Amino acid sequence: MQKNELNTLLELKENPSLTQRSLAHRLNISLGLTNAILQNLIHRGWIKAKKLTGRKILYLITPQGMARATNLIYDRFRETQQYYQQAKNLISACLDRLYQQGIREVVIYGTNQLSEITYLSLLDSPVKLHSILTDKPTPDQKKFLGQEVLTLSDFFQKISQRIRGTSDSEKLEKLYNHLIILSAINYQDKDKKNNQASNLEIEIKKYKDIFPELKIKIITLEDILKDTRV
């Protein structure tokens, strides 16, 4: 509820003449819930409803409402900081376990906040970054944190070229026998809804059919944040 309270206060601060329907649309919540939030804010003295001509109503934030919004913004900031530190600690612990298992490089799949935390965790880890992948990069996604971003198909094509061009089986085994992909995208939940394989699964299957010796393990980073052992 606090999230909806804060978002409502911020929306009304910018535009006090918003209708309940427009406010519900901006907040992406039901009209009934919007009405309940407004009534609660009025009851607490954080906004005042001022009737204009006809059915028009202005929702004006009171000084108490501004103080409430400031406190909620600060709480959100603290939660964000706590999330970042907790996520970094858990991902760092995962990287340490992978290193102990003999893993020296990992791939990051996705370009979001979780990818950024993972990249920063790698800077303090003996495990190194191999590549950053995405499904279909937009022009501004060709670089992420200064690193080149590859499409899934480009990445696996590069792997296949290196496999074909390397005769040292021991080197190949170290590079690709245990390829670890840290997925910042919860591809499993996303694609289960559509009852279809994800782009990541499709590309992996395609190249594993060509190179059966290619052993790939996907670790979903959201599972790491739930402290799931890998």
pLDDT tens digit sequence for 99-158: 998 888 999 998 888 999 999 999 999 999 999 998 765 555 578 888 889 888 888 777
My answer on whether 102 and 199 are in the same domain is yes
Q: Which residue has the higher pLDDT, 227 or 225?
A: 225
Q: What is the pLDDT of residue 47?
A: 93
Distant-in-sequence contacts of 113-116, Cβ < 8 A, 24+ apart: 114/87, 114/184, 114/221, 114/222, 115/144, 115/184, 116/145
Report the domain count for the chain. 2
What average pLDDT does this structure show over 4-24? 89
Q: How many CA atoms lie within 13 A of 146 on its CB side?
A: 3
Which residues constitute the domain of residue 197? 84-225
Query: Does one domain contain both 123 and 55?
Result: no
Average pLDDT score over residue span 45-63: 87
For residues 59-71, give the mean pLDDT. 90
Q: Answer yes or no: are the C-beta atoms of 64 and 46 closer than 8 Å.
A: yes
Query: Does 172 lie in the same domain as 91?
Result: yes
Indicate if 14 and 110 belong to the same structural domain: no
What are the pLDDT digits (tens) for 153-187?
Answer: 888 777 777 766 665 555 555 555 678 999 988 75
Same domain for 100 and 172, yes or no, is: yes
pLDDT in the model for residue 193: 46
Looking at the structure, tell me whether residues 18 and 126 fall in a common domain. Answer: no
Residues 46 and 89 in one domain: no
CA separation (Å) from 120 to 26, 76, 116, 135, 196?
34, 22, 6, 22, 32
57 and 169 inside one domain: no
Query: Which residues, in sequence order, are bridge partners of residue 51?
Result: 57
Whether 68 is in a domain gets the answer: no
The domain that contains 110 carries what CATH number?
3.40.50
Give SS3 for 148: strand
Q: What is the pLDDT of residue 228?
A: 43
Please choose, from the candidates 182, 195, 194, 163, the residue with its C-alpha nearest in 3D space to the C-alpha of residue 222: 182
Domain containing 47 — which CATH number? 1.10.10.10
Helices of type H across 61-150: 63-100, 113-123
198 lies in some domain? yes
Q: Each residue of 76-93: pLDDT tens digit? A: 878 888 888 889 999 999
Assess whether 89 and 43 both reside in one domain. Answer: no
Q: Within this chain, do residues 125 and 202 fall inside the same structural domain, yes or no?
A: yes
Q: What percent of the chain has pLDDT over 70?
A: 81
User: What's the predicted TM-score (pTM) here?
Assistant: 0.64
Indicate whether 170 and 57 sit together in one domain: no
**Based on the domain organization, do 137 and 54 belong to the same domain?**
no
